[in-house]
Copies of this chain bind each other. A is one copy, B any other.
Amino acid sequence: MPGSPDFYPSRVGATEDSLRERIDPVIHGRGSAPGPHGLSAEQLRTFEQDGFLVLPGIMADRVASLRAELDRLSTAPELQGRPEVVTEPDSDAIRSLFGVHEFSELFSAAARDSRILTPARQLLADDVYIHQSRVNAKPALLGRSFSWHSDFETWHVEDGIPRPRILTGWIFLDENRAYNGPLLVLPGSHRHYVSVAGTTPERNYLESLKVQQAGSPGIHILRKLAELCGNRIESVVGPPGTVVFHEGNLMHCSPDNPSPWSRTNLFFVYNSLQNQPVAPFSGQAPRPRYLAAPAPFEPLVP
């Protein structure tokens, strides 16, 4: 669908970053969710206000088997050399493994566990499908940082996701601590849209998964955004098995891991079926399927 209206222009050649209005709501329905795993009214308010919600340890019973499966996949001969495997910028340590729900029934089942799927459906008030899945491993001492960015900005520009009706539900496979390279967020930043200067290099993802540059805002707009958010950076921490819901447009980064403890997390990007991608707003070809699921889209069922 080329020529779709672009409500969230970014990397369209401007010389400076700018703040734009977010014209969409943060949560898309306030009805209660079926079953025991729906979020409470207070949890919905936290997500709406901060842009993320932490549920400590609720999927701890899946951690051991998911970690074992990850170990298996990391050395599986059929994965060696595949583009889904991304290494650290300055070592051979695995940084990311994409498409895990397609490689593994165990990962696929985790994505459909109602403890993560029910709240995702509730927050987006719709049937959902997986736009992207990945494991990010941040090895002790070696794991390097990710620059500040809004995921939605990338998904919009590079994948054609029209609106911020998309979120990440993720599971800690290690304890996430203040200083082992946790996600750092600007709470409340999801209520603003940062339109980033410049344009998107062709096949940007070949570099951006190691070191993101296009789409990462400069210091002036970051200071302005931080000020709007009370100059507060928060780390997202908790024990293994913690589940986090993180609104697609939340400004976040993650620092190096200088600690002697590794930090591995499993991410599922859930998109509303009413928010199916159009042609990328960068005007470029869509990214490969392990980064951006192509049609047809089937609703996930628990």
Contacts and interface: CB of A to CB of B under 8 A. Distances in A.
A179 B219 contact: no
A261 B220 CA distance: 11
B219 A141 contact: yes
Contact of A179 (B222, B233, B258, B259): B233
A255 interface: yes
A222 B140 CA distance: 11
Contacts of A177: 233
A258 B148 CA distance: 8
Given A178-B233, A179-B233, A145 B184 contact: no
Interface in A17-48: none
A141 B219 CA distance: 7
Interface in A102-146: 140-141, 145
Interface in A125-184: 140-141, 145, 147-148, 177-179, 184
Contacts of A259: 226, 233
Interface string A172-212: 00000111000010000000000000000000000000000
Given A140-B219, A219-B140, A256 B179 contact: no
A260 interface: yes
A86 interface: no
A271 B235 CA distance: 37
A60 to B, nearest CB: 19
A260 B223 contact: yes
A79 to B, nearest CB: 25
A253 interface: yes
Nearest to A225: B260
A145 B179 contact: no
Contacts of A223: 260-261
Interface string A255-297: 1101111000000000000000000000000000000000000
Contacts of A179: 184, 233, 235, 255
A258 B226 CA distance: 13
B253 A184 contact: no
Contact of A256 (B141, B233, B256, B260): B256
Q: Which 10 A-B pairs rank lowest in CB-CB distance, beginning with the nearest?
A: A222-B260, A223-B260, A179-B233, A255-B258, A253-B258, A256-B256, A219-B260, A255-B256, A226-B260, A255-B255
